[in-house]
Amino acid sequence: MMSKMGFTGGLGLGKLKQGRVAPVETTQTRGRLGLGSKVPDVLAPANVIWDSSAEVIDFKAKLEWMPPFHQPVPSFEEMNSWVVIGRRKEAIEDEIQFCDPEVLSEVLNCKTVFDSLDEKQLRDARTRSNPFETIKKVFFQNRAAVKMAEIDAVTEFMFTNFNQRNDDASNVDAKEPLYFADVCAGPGGFSEYVLFRKKWHSKGFGFTLKGDNDFKLEEFLVGPPECFEPYYGKNGDGNVYEPENITSLKDFIYDNTDGRGVHFMMADGGFSVDGQENIQEILSKRLYLCQFLVALCVVRTGSYLVSGFRKRSSSSG
């Protein structure tokens, strides 16, 4: 039929026999992705047969402690000499003082794969790679609460049992509730977990940015919200970058703990780094520094800080 219409095999379909001669290739799409959307190589279907018996699911998380630091604390002058004032640094490739340059560059290459994934692909990949994903948030308000539960469990409940330990009586008074602070902490899953464990034997002080991610006390369903007090600092905005907020938070906590500070503090600050995911660690430095500063101000001697560090490979730290 085509040759009757003037078509010559091997030539194009155009009036002057121009146009493509190769057959149109079939396009492989993933799920409901539209034609033409690119699938990164790492996600292309691989000829791998999954062998469930080869999968080892190690559900007891291993705890690795950093060795204690025994050298003398640097002097104030020496620490001051570390401060460099200049333009805000937004590059990570040259951060090789504490990292092997080759490892750093490989990690960055691997992370770049995420740039070509959409949100659903990322979520699917996370679901497939984490055998515990189905645990979700259990009966808490969010998954963060489950994360804090795990941290507490692998450390033999050293946080929620802090006020029951008897190794250093100077920090612990059996008649006191367990005092804790939760900083950069909205909507409050970490605190909900602690309240779930300790009920009214605890008292939490919450500090977080006002706005969309504020505490959701109405969702503290498994722990008493009455034992939790949000505080937004002198400026009233809950911003941990503001020195007045830090000082007033410290005063507030000392006023309410008989001048002794909290038994432990949790800090889990994070913000959207859309489009700048590979330098997330650099962008978050200021937040971590301020959280450490708050911890130094509000925890009593011998107590602990649990800090979340955001890294690009999970939705949270």
Ligand X SMILES: C[S@@+](CC[C@H](N)C(=O)[O-])C[C@H]1O[C@@H](n2cnc3c(N)ncnc32)[C@H](O)[C@@H]1O
Binding interface with ligand X (CB under 6 A)? 142, 144-145, 184-190, 208-209, 213, 238-241, 268-271, 287, 316
Least distance (Å) between residue 181 CB and ligand X: 12
7: which DSSP letter? -
Shortest Å, Cβ 110 to ligand X: 23
Work out whether strand 178-183 and strand 202-207 pair parallel, antiparallel, or are unpaired: parallel
Shortest distance in whole angstroms from residue 196 CB to ligand X: 12
Least distance between ligand X and beta carbon 116 (Å): 25
Residue (165 or 210) nearer to ligand X, CB: 210
Sheet holding 262-267, edge to edge: 228-230, 202-207, 178-183, 262-267, 299-307
Q: Which is nearer to ligand X, 146 or 172 (CB)?
A: 146
Q: 137 or 199: whose CB is closer to ligand X?
A: 137
Residue whose structure tokens are 């070509």: 116
Which is closer to ligand X, CB of 172 or CB of 312? 312
- CB closer to ligand X, 172 vs 266: 266
Q: Which residues contact 27 (CB under 8 A, 6 or more apart)?
A: 35, 36
Residue 34: both structure tokens together: 């539209």
Minimum CB–partner distance for residue 82 and ligand X (Å): 23
Rounded to a whole number of angstroms, the minimum distance from the CB of residue 52 to ligand X is 33
Any residues with CB less than 8 A from the CB of 309 and at least 6 apart, and which?
281, 284, 288, 317
Q: Which is nearer to ligand X, 104 or 282 (CB)?
A: 282
**Nearest CA to 193 among 140, 242, 241, 234?**
140
Residue 25: Cβ-neighbour burial (10 angstroms; 0-12, 13-18, 19+): exposed
